[in-house]
Structure 1
Amino acid sequence: MDLFSGTISSLERGLDYSAVKQKVIANNVANVDTPGYKSKDVSFHAMLQNEMKLSSNQSQKNPLHFDLSNQDSGGTNISSRPYSVRENGNGVDMDKEMADLATNQIYYNSLISRISGKFGSLNSVIRGGGQ
């Protein structure tokens, strides 16, 4: 019996994505003055498509459901952005990086809030309800 019906593992995968995204953004910001450096990005859509492809190779109880809980993507989908923002060939746009950073932070905080709520509910059940 799965205690959380896969919710915690799904939230965990979301946190994994957010952590990779944070590292990529930090790397881009650190290389803002490196000549010829092309900024990188992590695609949630590409990671989801990869998980769905792996999942479709497995037998499912219901063909309309995807089992993403126990699959490993085999790596992250980090891609380079081919454009240059500066004359020295550097492709880091600080405004875009800061916007991506803020978006990722909101995503991360919402996942943490959801996990905290799940554990709070479990704690309430363990303690016997309204105590």
Structure 2
Amino acid sequence: MNLFGGTISKLENSLNYAAMKNNTISDNIANADTPGYKAKDVQFKNILDDTLTSSIQAKRTTEKHIPFNSNQNSSYRVVSQSNTMYNHNGNNVDIDKEMTELAKNQIYYNGLIDRINGKFGSLQTVIRGGN
């Protein structure tokens, strides 16, 4: 039995995603002048894709086929963006884009914190008996 209905665990997963995205953006900003550095991004796996691939019974006929089951424990992953080059030194960090992403992620993170504080406030009210 899940005491909190899964909301707190979903908020926790979202906070973990936001923290990972913040770390990745910070790494990109810190390496903006590093020759050959390729910008990284954190991507959510699409829940619809997960649902579809788990319900489809597919068969690989050769080893060259992409497997349908990915056994990753987290719902996000860090990927390098190696298909672009902005600077003459092979670096593809766009500092303006990274700063915008950092601001968006901070707003997202703060919203999650407000939401989880509200959940804990509601629990605290219930525990105190409505006082």
TM interval, short-chain normalised: 0.7 to 0.9
Which consecutive unaligned segments of at least 5 residues does structure 1 have? 58-71
Deviation of 1:43 after TM superposition, in Å, equals 0.9
Superposed CA RMSD: 2.2
Deviation of 1:84 after TM superposition, in Å, equals 1.1
Runs of 4+ in 1 over 6 A off after TM superposition: none
Question: How high is the TM-score relative to the length of structure 1?
Answer: 0.77
**In 2, are the aligned partners of 1:11 and 1:115 still within 8 Å (CA)?**
yes
Report what 1:73 is aligned to. Answer: 72
Q: Which has the higher contact order (CA 8 A, sep 6+)?
A: 2
Sequence identity percentage: 54
Distance in 1 (CA, whole Å) between partners of 2:122 and 2:54 is 33
Report what 1:127 is aligned to. Answer: 128
Report what 1:100 is aligned to. Answer: 101
Structure 1 residues 55, 19: closer, same or farther in 2, change over 3 A? farther
SS at match of 1:43: strand
The 5 A counterparts of 1:21-60 are: 21-44=21-44, 46=45, 48=47, 52=50, 56=54
Which consecutive unaligned segments of at least 5 residues does structure 2 have? 56-70
Matched, 1:113 2:114: yes
Structure 1 residues 18, 99: closer, same or farther in 2, change over 3 A? same
Distance in 1 (CA, whole Å) between partners of 2:31 and 2:99 is 14
SS at match of 2:16: helix
Q: What do residues 19-65 of structure 1 show as CA deviations (whole Å, max 9, x unaligned)?
A: 11011101101111101111010112x26467x359937xxxxxxxx
**Aligned pair count?**
114
Structure 1 residues 3, 74: closer, same or farther in 2, change over 3 A? closer
